[in-house]
Amino acid sequence: MDDEYFHFSFNDLDLSISKSVYDLWLKFRQMNHNDKEACGILIGTKDFASNHYCIESVTVPMSKDIRTKYSFTMKDPRHQQIVDKAYLDSNGTSIYLGTWHSHPQAIPIPSHIDYEDWQRCLKRNPDRNLFFIIIGLEQIKIAIHMNDKFIDRSLLIEN
Q: Is 21 exposed, middle or buried (0-12, 13-18, 19+ CB in 10 A)?
A: buried
| Inter-residue contact 44 to 57 (CB < 8 Å) | yes
Report the alpha-carbon distance of residue 26 to residue 151 in Å, rounded.
23
Which residues share a beta bridge with 99? 41, 132
DSSP character string of 118-134: HHHHHHH-TTS--EEEE
DSSP state of 64: T
Report the alpha-carbon distance of residue 2 to residue 81 in Å, rounded.
31
* Residues labelled catalytic: 37
* 144, containing H or E segment: strand 139-146
